[in-house]
Amino acid sequence: MQIKKGLKIRDIAGEKVLIMQGNFGLDMTKVVSFNSSAEWLWNTLYDRTFSSEDVTGLLTERFLVDSETAEADAKKWIDQLMQCNALE
């Protein structure tokens, strides 16, 4: 999978968010908020093809969490991006 080209995280009132652009402007029903680890994953994987296992590996290396926690967090991050159609 890969993050869709042209999508960017914005800083709005101190929050890091991804706002999906609709046909007639911003669709505020599709706003994804990022914590620091989610933003780090986004920036690390932008312009790269990756798998769920890649995300899990990055989380275990960077944050020194066990593989089960990293796998659950990776799935949650990927699922959230899939729900708002940010991955291809």
Contacts with 37 (C-beta within 8 Å, 6 or more apart), sequence order = 59, 62, 63, 73
Instruction: State the DSSP H helix or E strand holding residue 10, giving kind and residue range, or none if neither.
Output: strand 9-12
Say if CB 18 and CB 34 are below 8 A apart: yes
Residue 27 above 90 pLDDT? no
Q: What is the mean pLDDT of residues 60-67?
A: 95
pLDDT confidence bin for 24, thresholds 50/70/90: very low
In this prediction the pTM is 0.85
Dig out the tokens for 10 from the structure: 């914005």
Residue 23 above 80 pLDDT? no
Dig out the tokens for 26 from the structure: 């911003």
pLDDT confidence bin for 85, thresholds 50/70/90: confident
Q: Is 38 helix (H, G, I), strand (E, B) or coil?
A: helix
